[in-house]
Structure 1
């Protein structure tokens, strides 16, 4: 049985390559049927804001990658509700509708469920 993997994405989509790399790892894991989850934490919650204008920042839009997650079998998607609230983001109307909102306490239990954790 393959080991489960949790990717924690902590970077805003425009702050460098880490957000894209986290999504690439998750998509690759999903393509190989790896039990994989993705948690958006800290500034990573900004990846879930709808209708971002990546061209204005001369960045590549990540929304297509986000929308592809279910097609790759990635269904364990989580967002830290505390991180979203601290940044003034509502957890309704996010770019991913199937994301589960977790508290800091829930995140500790989530991390314990996975065999391996990668933070980007």
Structure 2
């Protein structure tokens, strides 16, 4: 039986390699049919914002990678309600369908997974 893996992405898409690395791990694991979930926390919720303009910062666009997650079997997507609120983002306007969880539900989510990687 495969170990389940939760990837917690805490970096904005333009703040360094962490966001891209988290997506790469999720896509690779999904290609091998591992049970994977992805949680967008803190500045990581900015990855779900549909109005990104990465070219202005000379960065690569991550939206294609994000849209590919379900195609690779990574369908368990979560976002922190608190992180969204603190950053003025609304869950109805996210670029991906992510389940928005409060702090209590986040704790329960993390405990459900066998392995957790935070980037």
**Both structures adopt the same fold (TM-score exceeding 0.5):** yes
**SS in structure 2 at match of 1:79:** strand
CA distance in 1, matches of 2:47, 2:35: 22
Q: CA deviation at 1:93?
A: 1.5
Aligned length: 119
Q: Which residue in the other structure is 2:118 paired with?
A: 119
Structure 1 residues 62-88: Cα deviation after superposition (integer angstroms, max 9, x where no partner): 000000001101110000011000111
**1:23 corresponding residue in structure 2:** 23
Deviation at 1:37, TM superposition (A): 0.3
The alignment yields a C-alpha RMSD, in angstroms, of 0.5
Q: Pairwise mapping of residues 1-120 of structure 1 onto structure 2 (< 5 A)?
A: 1-96=1-96, 98-120=97-119
4+ aligned runs moved over 6 Å, structure 1: none
Q: Give the Cα–Cα distance (whole angstroms) in 1 for the partners of residues 29 and 103 of structure 2.
A: 25
d(CA) in 2 for partners of 1:13 and 1:64? 12
Q: Distance in 1 between matches of 2:71 and 2:87?
A: 29
In 2, Cα distance between the equivalents of 1:12 and 1:67?
17
For the residue of structure 2 that corresponds to 1:111, the secondary structure is helix
Structure 2 unaligned regions, length at least 5: none
Where structure 1 has 5 or more consecutive residues not aligned to the other structure, the ranges are none
